[in-house]
Amino acid sequence: MRTTRVAVGTERYVLAPDEDAGDLAGAVLSAVRSGGDFVDFTLANSRMVRVLVTASSTISLETIEWDPDDDGPGELGEGSRLHIDGDYWLE
């Protein structure tokens, strides 16, 4: 499945299939231009994320091939643990 991965600083998220990457990019740009604001988006696992976006925020959007059954690096998996790299998990 083709979807969008959002990187906010060092955190990475896979957007829900119904989230529009263009709308999110516009919301990020709007927040920066207004001096900072919260931007909300929904993840593929149905969780909602609210990010404070300012002129110093580092945010990127990337189109990726994603298997919803595979918790790849940097995605939420196994409950609420974050898979960082290889065999390392944060609780």
Percent of the chain with pLDDT over 70: 74
Residues of the chain where predicted confidence (pLDDT) is lower than 70? 68, 70-91
Query: Which pLDDT belongs to residue 76?
Result: 45
CA 64 – CA 3 distance, rounded (Å): 6
CA 61 – CA 12 distance, rounded (Å): 10
CA 41 – CA 22 distance, rounded (Å): 12
Query: Which pLDDT belongs to residue 67?
Result: 74
